[in-house]
Amino acid sequence: MRSLLMSKDSDSAEKLICVGDMPLKKRVPFAALPPGFQSTFLDALTPREISALLKAARSVIISPHEVLQQEGEPAERLWLLRTGRVAVYRLTQDGNKLFLRWGVPGDTFGFATIVRTPAQYLVTIEAIQEGSILAWNLADCQALISRYPGLSKGVNRTLSKYLDGLIDRFVMCQLQSAEERLARVLVESAGQLGHAGPEGIEVDLKNEEVALAAHMSLFTATRHLSKWQRTGLLKKHRGKIVVPSLSCFEKIPAD
Amino acid sequence: MRSLLMSKDSDSAEKLICVGDMPLKKRVPFAALPPGFQSTFLDALTPREISALLKAARSVIISPHEVLQQEGEPAERLWLLRTGRVAVYRLTQDGNKLFLRWGVPGDTFGFATIVRTPAQYLVTIEAIQEGSILAWNLADCQALISRYPGLSKGVNRTLSKYLDGLIDRFVMCQLQSAEERLARVLVESAGQLGHAGPEGIEVDLKNEEVALAAHMSLFTATRHLSKWQRTGLLKKHRGKIVVPSLSCFEKIPAD
DNA sequence: CGGATTCTTGACGAGAATCAAGAGTTGTGG
DNA sequence: CCACAACTCTTGATTCTCGTCAAGAATCCG
């Protein structure tokens, strides 16, 4: 079985066009996952179930700024992030974004499709990197679940993990100062979005995005980042933060 | 009696040896639920499944201040609140409590028992009224689930509902002012804990508890409550708030 | 070279936490 | 029944964090 590598555009990639609710293109070969792929959802399933899932999946390429699902819209697909990164947030009435978390390969979304009635997405998800997802439409989901009741276990585990993570974030926002939150977001983002560079881990985020993730104003974020730059703990560029070592930021209270 | 806030001293020990693994009382007769009982968990199940569940359940009486599960402890039972009220919160390192929500009859807890590995409770739950629960131990849960895979659906729906509710609370805490949060907590608490009285809905909560639920200091809560009392929107007594009409408080932004 | 983003810094103010002090309420024991 | 202690509530003064606004600097891009 041949596995696709983590490359941005796989062979199947370039012919695919992708928009929120666009035409799904082609069936996924059975071994569509990169080696070492980890997923809370899939890991709870048997090989047989995974295989059935993958056979029914359709692959879609995603591009930065693309909205993959929008809260309130009818939930029509369950999907798994294969490569790339996404941001999960909730919209406020005045159009602002309330950040909830980053999504990384292996994360599964759109459970509202099979769990909620009426099926409406709970959150908005936006791609922030090139990547690809595996998607299942409502009918296929239902068929799969009735054929493989074990899938519910994967859903359970994933929902439980999200609940856990959200409680943690809630605790963080209620109990920690802006500076502590920012440090934590830096560590988190470095781990989930960062890539190695000559001078340390590079995180391609604008101050504005970091501020969003840390739940503070752009100015407060900038101030602390500037301070840390003066102290030499990190270096800033336009749209990028370079951290030589995370250790200084990690010792901040965990919750 | 210690109330919601002080958690350092565990003096509730003497009145009832509670916590996770206390003596279960007696087998439940098949028709153990009050008429009109509503439960997100049970409502997702077939009559056959519900009947099997109830037969396997054990009933336990709960008393105010009793800790029904404690975060971090091994999760050993799944349980359903039959009557009474509970508070769900998370503890901080310094022993304070971060309120998450009220629990009312029909709510189900302890999913960690069957979903998480290792099985550890995620949150702490404390009874705030006399009441009773139906509980299932780990072995029975597993037996029931393997016999009735449909149970997972109930778990799914319940977890999803909790996730939804938690996102809402998170949004509320991030975007609304103290006054708006307090108004909302009043409405919520009146609906879930309140009972009718001669002058309106009575909510038996101390200022301290209301403040906890609204995520603000005791003083800020007191100030707004006093102001509303001067305006005539409510009347306060020691450990109780009487609201003639909720309509004034309901018009606050929903999120 | 504009023009558009993105970042920086300072000044200011609103909201809410903290601290302090006391008033009102409830319960208990003598 | 009173006195006292414990608890709960109230209010004002103070402080602090952080958001908002303004103005400009740095960077990128066609």
The percentage of chain B sitting over the pLDDT mark of 90, rounded to a whole number, equals: 79
> CB under 8 Å to B65, separation ≥6 — which residues?
B1, B2, B3, B12, B15, B126, B127, B128
Average pLDDT over residues B4-32: 41
Using one digit for the tens of pLDDT, what is the confidence trace for A148-194? 998 999 999 999 999 999 999 999 999 999 999 999 999 999 999 99
CA A127 to CA A81: how far, in whole Å? 10
Chain B residue whose CA is closest to A164: B122
Using one digit for the tens of pLDDT, what is the confidence trace for B215-243? 999 999 999 999 999 999 999 999 999 99
Using one digit for the tens of pLDDT, what is the confidence trace for A232-241? 999 999 999 9
Bridge partners for B59 per DSSP: B26, B134
What pLDDT was estimated at residue B252?
59
Residues of chain A with Cβ-Cβ distance to B253 below 8 Å are 93
CA A8 to CA A61: how far, in whole Å? 9
Bridge partners for B77 per DSSP: B137
Using one digit for the tens of pLDDT, what is the confidence trace for B164-216? 999 999 999 999 999 999 999 999 999 999 999 999 999 999 999 999 999 99
Tell me which residue has tokens 């293109």: A25
Bridge partners for A74 per DSSP: A120
Residues of A with CB under 8 A from a CB of B: 90, 92-93, 98, 100, 111-112, 114-116, 122-123, 149-150, 152-153, 155-157, 159-160, 162-164, 166-167, 169-171, 173-175, 215, 253, 255
CA B45 to CA A179: how far, in whole Å? 47
CA→C1' distance for A176 and D16 (Å)? 15
What pLDDT was estimated at residue A24?
43
Contact call for A122 and B164, based on CB within 8 A: yes
The percentage of chain A sitting over the pLDDT mark of 70, rounded to a whole number, equals: 86
Using one digit for the tens of pLDDT, what is the confidence trace for A4-58? 233 333 333 333 333 434 444 445 544 568 888 899 999 999 999 999 999 999 9
pTM: 0.87
Rg (CA), chain A: 19
Whether CB of B26 is under 7 Å from strand C: the answer is no
Neighbours of B196 (CB within 10 A): 8
Please determine, for residue B88, whether its predicted confidence score (pLDDT) is greater than 50.
yes
CA B136 to CA B57: how far, in whole Å? 5
CB A63, CB A18: distance < 8 Å:
yes
